[in-house]
Structure 1
Amino acid sequence: MSSGKSLRILVVEDEILIALELESLLQEAGHDVVGVATSCDEALAMARDLAPDLAFVDIHLTDGPTGVDVCRHLTSQLGVTTLFMTANAKRIPEDFAGACGVIAKPYTERGVREALAYVIVGQKPHGAGAAQTMTFVPFEALSREDSSQVS
């Protein structure tokens, strides 16, 4: 990344192949993946112990649709910036559970890089038709009426 800032990232994903692919992509982008959690309890324990800067959180984990709870706790109790990474965007609550955006699955490398740029330096995706083609959607760009774009 051009900013040179390296983030400590926790991946909360129960599909191991997706987690490994994301871990590799994040490392290639110059970031440190501090852990991979597959359940709510594991994610919260790792976050307390490892103090990540950012967490990519899937909504449906091995213990059910607990990703929203993980996100709420990470943001409100531990101050961790969170991004949802999910194919179940309709399960994201109206208040976004404290997350700053969502990456739709199946994700793209471009979507992950856009999300990282947004988190690091506040760059918003730009260009004609960006909202229709990107896989990353920053929540601040959406009003309640526009939240259907996330699905």
Structure 2
Amino acid sequence: MTTYRILIVEDEPLIAFDLAQSLADAGFHVVGIARDKEGAVAKAAQGGIDLATMDVNLANRDSGIDTAIALRTGFGIPSLFVTSASQAVLSQIGHADPVGIIEKPAHPQDVIAAILRYFAVLGSPY
């Protein structure tokens, strides 16, 4: 199995760590956790990221939508949104061209399944 490299962009530490552990247990390589846009862009600049999981409301009042756009346009990194955002905000996510949206509370297996579906459709990035 190809080891996909995942960046978690989530400002709630317990959610981020739980997801990171679940992804690692499923065989993914978690390259890091970012709490805000600045952290996500810094991680992306280091390279080696295949996909980001993205919350909509991040630390420092950052927008996950803006962060996802920055990752895609600046680094070619797609985002899978995992969020409890309102329907009004969810309607704005399309601007970020996400690979999918999972509403919180999300079971880690749902996130894993969505990531695997994305790479199955896309094919391996390697």
**Matched residue, 1:42:** 39
Which string of whole-angstrom CA distances, capped at 9 and with x for unpartnered residues, describes residues 95-124 of structure 1? Answer: 34121101111001331122122122029x
**Matched residue, 2:76:** 79
2 CA distance for matches of 1:38 and 1:62? 6
1 CA distance for matches of 2:30 and 2:93? 29
Matched letter for residue 116 of structure 1:
I
**1:17, distance to aligned residue in structure 2 (A):** 0.3
Matched letter for residue 24 of structure 1:
Q
Give the alignment's Cα RMSD to 1 decimal. Answer: 1.7
Percentage of identical aligned residues = 33
Superposition pairs of residues 68-107 of structure 1, within 5 angstroms: 68-90=65-87, 91-92=89-90, 93=92, 95-107=94-106
Gaps of 5+ in 1: 124-151
Contact 2:65–2:93 under 8 Å retained in 1: no
4+ residue runs of structure 1 moved beyond 4 angstroms? none
Which of 48, 57, 60 pairs up with 1:60?
57
1 CA distance for matches of 2:102 and 2:119? 16
Which string of whole-angstrom CA distances, capped at 9 and with x for unpartnered residues, describes residues 26-53 of structure 1? Answer: 0011011001000111111111114310
TM-score where L is the length of structure 2: 0.87
Higher relative contact order (CA 8 A, sep 6+): 2
SS of residue in 2 equivalent to 1:121: helix
**Matched residue, 2:116:** 117
Matched letter for residue 106 of structure 1:
P
**Matched residue, 1:26:** 23
Matched residue pairs, number? 120
Which string of whole-angstrom CA distances, capped at 9 and with x for unpartnered residues, describes residues 49-103 of structure 1? Answer: 1431010010101111411011011112211121011000531316341211011
Distance 1:5 1:52, change over 3 A: same
TM-score where L is the length of structure 1: 0.74
